[in-house]
Each structure stands twice: as C-alpha cells, then as structure tokens.
C-alpha cells in the first residue's frame, strides 16, 4: 500500500482483507455461476460496518471517512469485484442520495435500515433511451391530489430486483429540461413498482442487475427526495462521490489481478525456470505495479479532498477514468501471463477479465469522464 495510513486505517484495511479472504473467496465462483447476490452475506457485511460506511452513527452508520471507504471497497474488490460493486452501489448511490438530500424523516425511515444492512439499496437513473444522456429521462411523475403518480422504466439497475429501498429519478416538469427532473424514494412493495427482466451479464454476476418498471405507481408527497426539479443536479453531486468508489473498486480489481499474475509467474516453470525470471514477464509486472500505484494515489487524493469538503468533480472523474482503464490493462495482462490457464475458470484470471469491463462503463463511461474533465479544465 503506497499510502500513509493511520493505525486505525491499517487495522480497518487488515480487518476487511481478512473478512474477504475468509467469507468471500471460498464462494466467488459459486456466486458468479448462480448469478445471485448472497443475501446471507448481508448481515456479515453489516457487522463489519460495511453497509453504512460513511454515514453517521446516529443513523446506524459507521461514521468513517471517504478514505476509509476506499480502503473497504478496494479490499473487497481485490477478492471479488462483484461483491464490492454491490457494496459500493448500496453505499455510494442509493444510501448516499438519501443522506445528502433526504429530510430528517426520510433518513430515519430509509437510511437507517440501509446503513444497518437490513435491506439493500438501489438507485434508478439509467433508462433504455437515457444512458450517458441522463437528461433524456422519460420516466414521468405527475402530481395528483395525494402525491405523485410515476410511470416509466429503468434499466441496468443494481439490486433492482432485490432492493428494499429504491431511489429513482423522474421528470416532473418537461418544460424545464434538466431542472425538471426530481428524485423519489420508494420502499419495496410499493404498488405499481415491480422488477422487470434480470440481466444475464458477462461479468459482475453476483451483483444482480435488472429493470425496474413503474405502472401508475402512486406515492405520497413525502416520497419526493430533495427539492422538486433538483433531482438531476443532485444526481451529479451523488456521482461525484460515487465515482471515487468505482475508482477504488478498480484499484482493488487491478491489485487482485496483479497479485494473481505475480503468484502464477513465480510458480509456473518453463525451460527449467519460473517465467518470472524472463524479462518479458518482469516488465509486464513492473508496468502494472507502477500504474496501479498511480491509480491508487489519484483515487485516495480524490477521497482526501472529499474529506476536506472540496468539490471533487474533476478529481473524481480523473480517478475513475484512469483507475478503470488501468484495471482493464491489469486484467488483460493477468490472462496473458497465465497463458492458456488464464482462459479457464480454474484460475482467477478469467473472472477478473470478465468483471473489469463494467468499470469503464458504469457511473459514466470513459468517454463521459473525459468530457467532464475537459469541461472542468476549460471552464
């Protein structure tokens, strides 16, 4: 770890690492093949404080910092990126949106069960026709005498079929463009809200992804999360922080792939010697170690700035962009160093390779990150 950590942070890192090795690693491939998030893991994650990492203790959270959050996500991702993704989406999107913009009553009703791991959270922004262009949202919420009626659909929603709480964006005033989108918080079982198709994914298969469909879904006035018309603006603020989590996940996956490649290179022999003795392999490992160290420093710098109260739009996007692309490279080289064994499921290389590509897509593609960074640089 190329960072200066406090004694408490080292203890946290080691505790999460030991937990991941003990409770997650033995089941990685079984959970992947089942394409199902292991709900039996939820109370164990909660006992370690990982379902409410950055939220106040008064609301059931662990009261940790953004740097601490990165340590947790990185260590989970080193062992199983899919589980890390579920923890990051729960903490960094659904629960974070409620914490940042919810009323006191909403935080008591919804954030407490999320932070204590009683339920999983889901966050509904993406739609079939609104991905990178989130302002193209078609889901609508119309006022009625008692509250709102929501109609539409969301796609690629992490935990969309198993969440206990959903935060969803909907258009409340089409004439106002971006400033006509509002956020709503809904408990599972709300009439008119249901899960649609569950996606059969390339990777991250233990983190479930599905559609969420709204058909004349009636919610009370108190379901409005934050101010009417501010949902899109608030979403951008949530994503600033969420992208730090994806960057940490990328660093963890890259580190896991590097560790697997290094271990294999040291034990695999060709021509009477370990392949780690060959310059071609040694340079691959040297390049990966350097890039991972750089990605880690970018990520933790963004987290430290967040802890200092600085707006991190540029730094979050830089960390997410660079770390995710380094992770892709690390996963690719892990397969290459394993050779034919990197293409079979008996070794971890092929799963890192399948999992990693989502990281350059989710929470803003690499192309979107470059647009965000350029806009910040040229503003």
Which active-site residues does the annotation give?
363
Looking at the chain, list the stretches that DSSP marks H as alpha helix, in order from N- to C-terminal side: 7-19, 28-34, 42-47, 66-79, 81-89, 96-101, 104-106, 112-115, 231-267, 279-307, 313-338, 349-356, 366-378
Q: How many CA atoms lie within 13 A of 326 on its CB side?
A: 32
Rounded Cα–Cα distance for residues 349 and 336 (Å): 9
Rounded Cα–Cα distance for residues 112 and 88 (Å): 17
Phi, psi of 197 (to 5 degrees): -65, 135
Rounded Cα–Cα distance for residues 28 and 82 (Å): 9
Rounded Cα–Cα distance for residues 168 and 316 (Å): 23
> Both tokens of residue 96?
């974070």
Cα–Cα nearest to 352, from 252, 272, 271: 252
Rounded Cα–Cα distance for residues 88 and 248 (Å): 9
């Amino acid at each position: 770890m190329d960072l200066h950590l406090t004694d408490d942070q080292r203890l946290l890192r080691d505790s999460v690492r030991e937990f991941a090795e003990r409770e997650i690693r033995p089941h990685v491939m079984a959970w992947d093949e089942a394409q199902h998030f292991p709900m039996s893991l939820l109370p164990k994650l909660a006992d370690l404080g990982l379902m409410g990492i950055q939220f106040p203790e008064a609301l059931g959270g662990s009261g940790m910092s953004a740097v601490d959050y990165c340590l947790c996500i990185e260590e989970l991702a080193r062992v199983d990126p899919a589980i890390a993704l579920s923890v990051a989406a729960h903490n960094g999107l659904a629960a974070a949106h409620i914490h940042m913009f919810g009323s006191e009553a909403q935080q008591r009703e919804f954030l407490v069960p999320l932070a204590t791991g009683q339920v999983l959270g889901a966050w509904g922004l993406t739609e079939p026709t609104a991905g990178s262009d989130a302002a193209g949202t078609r889901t609508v919420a119309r006022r009625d005498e008692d509250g709102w009626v929501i109609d539409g659909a969301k796609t690629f929603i992490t935990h969309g079929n198993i969440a206990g709480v959903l935060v969803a964006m909907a258009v409340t005033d089409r004439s106002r463009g971006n400033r006509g989108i509002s956020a709503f918080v809904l408990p599972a079982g709300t009439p008119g809200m249901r899960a649609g198709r569950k996606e059969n994914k390339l990777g991250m298969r233990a983190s479930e992804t599905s559609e969420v469909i709204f058909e004349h879904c009636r919610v009370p006035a108190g379901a409005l999360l934050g101010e009417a018309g501010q949902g899109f603006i608030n979403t951008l603020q949530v994503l600033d922080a969420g992208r730090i989590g994806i960057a940490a996940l990328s660093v963890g996956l890259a580190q896991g792939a590097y560790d697997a490649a290094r271990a294999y290179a040291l034990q695999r022999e060709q021509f009477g010697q370990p392949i780690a003795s060959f310059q071609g392999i040694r340079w691959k490992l040297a390049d990966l170690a350097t890039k991972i160290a750089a990605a880690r420093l970018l990520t933790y710098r963004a987290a430290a700035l967040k802890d200092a109260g600085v707006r991190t739009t540029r730094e979050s996007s830089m960390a997410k962009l660079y770390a995710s692309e380094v992770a892709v490279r690390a996963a690719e080289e892990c397969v290459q160093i394993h050779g034919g064994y990197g293409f079979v499921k008996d070794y971890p290389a092929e799963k890192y390779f399948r999992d990693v590509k989502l990281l350059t897509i989710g929470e803003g593609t690499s192309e979107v990150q470059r647009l965000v960074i350029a806009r910040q640089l040229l503003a």
